[in-house]
Every structure is written in C-alpha cells, then in structure tokens.
Amino acid sequence: MTAPLRSAVAAVCLLALHGAAAGAEPAAMLALADQPLRIIRGAQLFKAVSGTLVQKDDIVETGAGSAQIEFGAGSIAALGPRTRVYLTALGQDEKAPAELALLQGWVKVLCTTGRRTLVATSALQVSVGAGAAIVRSAPGKDELFADEGEQLAARFDDKGRPGAVLKVAPEQYAVADGAKPLAAGRPPRQFISEMPPAFRDRIAPGPALGKAGKLAAVKEREVDFADVDAWLGARLAVRKGFVQRFRARLKDPAFRQQLEQALGQGSEWQAVLHPAAVRPLTQF
C-alpha cells in the first residue's frame, strides 16, 4: 500500500471513529425556555436559555417559566413551571431510552418513535411509548395521565424496585397516593384544572434557532446548600451519586454546617462527615 493510500485509509478510519463517538452520546437541547432557567451541573449553578445544550446528569429547574427539552429521535419533554428534573440518560442510541427523574412539578413527554422515555418519581416509574403522557409529582402524590396512546406505570417498593406494570389506556389516569393500590381511571377535575395550560396541546418541536445547539450554559457560582437540599433528601434513585458529586462543597463551612444539621445522621453522609466514627474495629 502506497503512502498516500495509507493516509487516505487512516483519515477514513478517524472519521468513522469520530462519528461513532459522536453517536454514542447524542446531544440534548433546551429547545424552548420562557425565561432563563437554571442548571445544576456537577456542583455548580448555571443559567441556560433556548438553544443551550444540556448534558447527562444535569439538574434542570424551570422556576416560574416553562421549558422544553428535545432528546432527538422523536423524544421531547415539556417542563411546567416550578419543575425540577434530573437528566438520568439522554438516549444513547436508537434503542436506549431517555430517562428523567422528576423531583417536583409537571412533565409532558412525547415519543414519536419506538424508543421509550422513562420518567421516575419517588413513587412511580412511568414508561412512555408511542404517544404522550403527563406526569406530576407533588408531596405525597405522584400522578400519570396517558394523554395519547397506552402508557405503562409501576409503583416502586420500599427498596426502590418497580412492581407490577399497570397499562394505562389513552385518556386514563393513575395515581400513587399513600398505600392505595395503583389503578387506572378518569382524571379528577383538580388534576385537569391545575395542569399547565400548554399541556392541553400536542407537543411540537421548538422553532429553528440560529444558535441552536451552539450555546453553552453560563456558570454563575458554586451551589449553596439551599440549592440542593431537596435533592439530597429526595427518595429518588439518582440520590445515590450525590455524596460523591457534592462532597467537595464540604470545604465550604456554611454548606458543611447546614448539611450536618439536615442530613449528618444519615449513613450515606456519615462516612464523609465523620469517617472516624464509622471506621470498622481492627481484629486482633
């Protein structure tokens, strides 16, 4: 093989590898935002607007506005006001689902392909297939409305494992409320009246933006304890990674003191805050 041919082959291989790497973790984008919202990325607070790329493990919080995240491959999540979500997965290929953990507020998910999108609350695991579903998380109550198409829901047990799957027919509703069994039925008037008005319409992709996908979130500061206290105490599977994620903030005396008061007795933080107290006894 001649030198020019070897160079050409190498260039083709590099392009193929680059394409594979780029396709391994597709970008998701904040396609719409009524007003700047905040993203907690790592242990830092960022501001984001329409056209900003979001990343896996981002915490997205809308405040008083609403927003829309597009994951590509026909998966879109609309966020209502005062909504807080964790982007667990962006959908790594055409078969892997996008995944959200909903701490608080309203999410409407649209899927137009065979790939599902998963939404986890403290009590429910919702699997959205072809069609659309609305999920709401409020203190002591997590709700699902199958807006379009049949959707799936399962209740988490005390160990965080999903139980039997409930098929929720189109325009049917299910709620995890205390110890009541999970069942489908008509949505209550209160759920409909409190739903964000925009959720009554079908989700559509956001408008083409001149800088779409080219905008980076703008860093504002390191997180304070008040920014993350609700997440640190949440009954969500994503909480398992928070000790490692936020332990560097323990160098800040105010953050450490507030965490100590709120969660210092919890076993997950005890080993970091007081390692000597949990050190196993040496066997002689």
- Residues 11-70 have pLDDT tens digits of 333 333 333 333 444 578 998 898 999 999 999 999 999 989 999 999 999 999 999 999
Residue 254 has pLDDT above 70, yes or no: yes
Same domain for 191 and 269, yes or no, is no
Q: Give the Å distances, CA to CA, from 242 to 104, 238, 276.
A: 18, 8, 21
Is 216 within the bounds of a domain? Answer: no
Same domain for 136 and 192, yes or no, is yes
Q: What mean pLDDT is predicted for residues 253-277? A: 86
Bridge-based pairing of strands 151-156 and 44-48 is unpaired
pLDDT at 209: 59
Is 280 within the bounds of a domain? Answer: no
Same domain for 108 and 231, yes or no, is no
- Residues 164-196 have pLDDT tens digits of 999 999 999 999 987 788 889 999 999 999 999
Same domain for 35 and 148, yes or no, is yes
Rg (CA), the chain: 22
pLDDT at 19: 36
In order, the DSSP letters of 129-147 are -SEEEEEEEETTEEEEEEE
- Residues 230-247 have pLDDT tens digits of 999 999 999 999 999 999
pLDDT at 77: 96
| Assigned token pair, 77 | 């999540």
Q: Give the Å distances, CA to CA, from 63 to 84, 95, 218.
A: 8, 32, 17
Residue 157 has pLDDT above 70, yes or no: yes
CATH of the domain at 194: 2.60.120.1440
Which residues on neighbouring strands pair with residue 78, listed in sequence order?
Answer: 68, 108
DSSP H stretches of helix in the chain:
3-24, 189-194, 225-232, 242-246, 253-263, 267-273
User: What is the phi/psi pair of residue 61, to 5°?
Assistant: -130, 125
Exposure string over 234-255, b if 16+ CB within 10 A, otherwise e: bebbbbeebbebbeebbebeeb
Same domain for 118 and 242, yes or no, is no
Same domain for 190 and 239, yes or no, is no
pTM of the predicted protein model: 0.86
Same domain for 184 and 82, yes or no, is yes
Name the residue range of residue 103's domain. Answer: 23-200
Residue 94 has pLDDT above 70, yes or no: no
Rounded mean pLDDT of the chain?
A: 85
Same domain for 144 and 267, yes or no, is no
Is 119 within the bounds of a domain? Answer: yes
Which position has the higher pLDDT, 122 or 115?
A: 122
Same domain for 176 and 245, yes or no, is no
Residue 117 has pLDDT above 60, yes or no: yes
| Assigned token pair, 143 | 């709700």
Residue 254 CA from chain centroid, whole number: 28
Contact 131, 113 (CB under 8 A): no
Nearest to 76 by CA among 92, 59, 100: 100
Q: With cut-offs at 50, 70 and 90, classify the pLDDT of residue 160.
A: confident
Same domain for 265 and 140, yes or no, is no
Name the residue with tokens 């799936």.
152
Euclidean distance between CA atoms 42 and 21, whole angstroms? 22
pLDDT at 8: 36
Euclidean distance between CA atoms 111 and 128, whole angstroms? 7
Q: With cut-offs at 50, 70 and 90, classify the pLDDT of residue 3.
A: very low
Is 169 within the bounds of a domain? Answer: yes
Count of the separate structural domains present in the chain: 2
% of the chain exceeding 90 in pLDDT:
63
